[in-house]
């Protein structure tokens, strides 16, 4: 998949020759890529002029945010150098810095395309980079906590019929109840529909499973507009995207699945190969296991404010592994 930032840069006429070549190679890879490119180009041409003023406003806001973030980062560094523990207020985590506003690419055509009476509804896209967490409030006052490497797209204003968002990654939702207007989370493979509830969903595109944990209320999992299962509190649904199968289990405590919202990683007899995936996102590092036999080793423990080195040293106390580290690249052997 092409980098959306690069595609927007091309549409704005700001790419170099080498970047143009990269886009051309991507377009020529498949008919689907070509169609996506042409659709984006057409949409841009039709709405580009109307976005100029808004884009300028966004750039001004972002510039001001960056200055504040730099100031906070400088203060935290000083506290660290002075032996103090940095303030936790921005540990969840420099909220503005975790938001990447892809404004131009976030306009959706709602009806009558390509007729004359088109309606465009503005959508916002927020991305949380690896190594960060963030919290946002949606237009309906629903609270969303985003874990590392997550993305959410939502409208500037929800329709009366439903409140639909697109999501990938991991997030915890505390949904505001608004009469009979359902709140719908679309992951691309399944939809999660609720009225007012608290739940966690993990739907990273690169992972085969989509995991939904219900903490409070009721929740429907939908596929192609049809209900496939109804969850009760403390139910966990795991949907396999390849096999199109769903597994339901009931747990006595959902805390280990949602502890990340409090800055904790809890592992309960988990395989090292699964732990590594979470550590990579949590600390924004790359970890390679050279000895395949180590992947099946299991570990139980909790990490809160440990560095990645401290976390690996704790794991090493109860497992036969060693590691080497070069900046953000780690090799386990």
Digitized pLDDT (tens) for each residue of the chain, 333 residues in all: 677 678 778 877 788 888 888 888 888 888 777 777 776 776 665 554 444 444 454 455 445 544 544 454 444 444 444 444 444 433 443 444 334 444 433 444 333 334 444 444 467 888 888 998 988 899 999 999 999 999 998 888 888 888 999 999 999 999 999 888 999 999 988 999 998 899 999 999 999 999 999 999 999 999 887 888 999 999 999 999 999 999 999 999 999 999 999 999 999 999 999 999 999 999 999 999 999 999 999 999 999 989 999 999 999 999 999 999 998 999 999
Query: Does some domain include residue 50?
Result: no
Provide CB contacts within 8 A for 239, sequence distance 6+: 189, 190, 209, 210, 211, 212, 221, 245, 246
231-263 exposure pattern, b = at least 16 Cβ within 10 A, e = fewer:
bebebbbbbebeeeebeeeeeeebebbbebbee
Residues 272 and 220 in one domain: no
Residues 280 and 232 in one domain: no
Nearest residue to 170 via CA among 138, 141, 128: 128
Q: Give, as one character, the DSSP assignment of residue 157.
A: S
**What CATH number is attached to the domain comprising 324?**
3.55.50.30
Of 202, 236, 257, the residue at which a domain comes to its end is: 257
**What CATH number is attached to the domain comprising 242?**
2.60.120.1440
**pLDDT at site 44:** 63
Residues 278 and 230 in one domain: no
Domain range for 327: 264-332
**The model scores a pTM over 0.75:** no
Residues 279 and 191 in one domain: no
Of 214, 234, 257, the residue at which a domain comes to its end is: 257
Query: Does some domain include residue 18?
Result: no
Q: Count of domains in the chain?
A: 2
Of 257, 279, 314, the residue at which a domain comes to its end is: 257
Query: Does some domain include residue 316?
Result: yes
Provide the β-strand partners of residue 77: none
Q: Number of helices (H) and strands (E) in the chain: give both, helices first.
A: 7, 19
Residues 287 and 199 in one domain: no
Residues 153 and 249 in one domain: yes
Strands 329-332, 286-289: pairing is: parallel
Query: Does some domain include residue 221?
Result: yes
Residues 296 and 242 in one domain: no
**pLDDT at site 193:** 94
Query: Does some domain include residue 13?
Result: no
The first and second tokens of residue 309, run together, are 């080195």
Q: Residue 102 in 3-state DSSP?
A: coil
- pLDDT tens digits for range 97-142: 334 444 433 444 333 334 444 444 467 888 888 998 988 899 999 9
The first and second tokens of residue 175, run together, are 């949904």
- How far from each other are the two terminal CA atoms of the chain, in whole angstroms? 32
Residues 199 and 281 in one domain: no
Residues 138 and 250 in one domain: yes
Residues 229 and 283 in one domain: no
Q: Is 165 exposed, middle or buried (0-12, 13-18, 19+ CB in 10 A)?
A: buried
Query: Does some domain include residue 280?
Result: yes
Helices (H), 166-324: 255-258, 272-283, 308-318
């Amino acid at each position: 998949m092409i980098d959306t930032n690069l595609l927007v840069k091309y549409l704005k006429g700001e790419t170099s020759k080498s970047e143009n070549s990269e886009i051309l190679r991507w377009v020529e890879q498949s008919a689907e890529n070509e169609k996506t490119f042409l659709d984006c180009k057409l949409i841009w041409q039709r709405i580009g002029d109307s976005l100029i003023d808004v884009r300028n406003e966004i750039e001004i806001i972002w510039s001001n945010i960056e200055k504040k973030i730099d100031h906070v980062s400088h203060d935290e560094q000083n506290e660290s150098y002075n032996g103090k523990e940095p303030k936790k207020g921005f540990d969840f985590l420099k909220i503005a810095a975790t938001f990447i506003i892809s404004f131009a690419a976030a306009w959706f055509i709602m009806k009558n395309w390509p007729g004359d009476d088109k309606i465009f509804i503005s959508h916002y896209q927020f991305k949380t980079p690896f190594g960060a967490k963030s919290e946002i409030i949606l237009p309906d006052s629903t609270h969303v906590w985003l874990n590392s490497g997550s993305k959410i797209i939502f409208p500037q204003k929800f329709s009366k019929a439903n409140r639909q968002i697109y999501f990938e990654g991991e997030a915890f939702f505390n949904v505001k109840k608004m009469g009979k207007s359902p709140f719908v989370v679309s992951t691309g493979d399944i939809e999660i529909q609720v009225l007012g509830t608290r739940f966690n969903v993990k739907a990273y595109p690169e992972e085969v499973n989509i995991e939904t944990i219900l903490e409070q209320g009721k929740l429907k999992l939908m596929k192609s507009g049809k209900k496939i299962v109804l969850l009760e509190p403390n139910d966990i649904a795991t949907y396999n995207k390849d096999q199109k199968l769903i597994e339901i289990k009931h747990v006595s405590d959902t805390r280990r699945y949602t502890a990340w919202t409090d800055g904790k990683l809890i592992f309960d007899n988990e395989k090292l190969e699964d732990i590594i995936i979470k550590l990579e996102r949590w600390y924004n590092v790359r970890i390679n296991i050279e000895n395949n036999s180590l992947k099946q080793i299991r570990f139980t423990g909790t990490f809160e404010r440990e560095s990645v080195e401290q976390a690996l040293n704790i794991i090493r106390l109860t497992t036969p592994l060693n590691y080497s580290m070069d900046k953000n690249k780690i090799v386990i052997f």
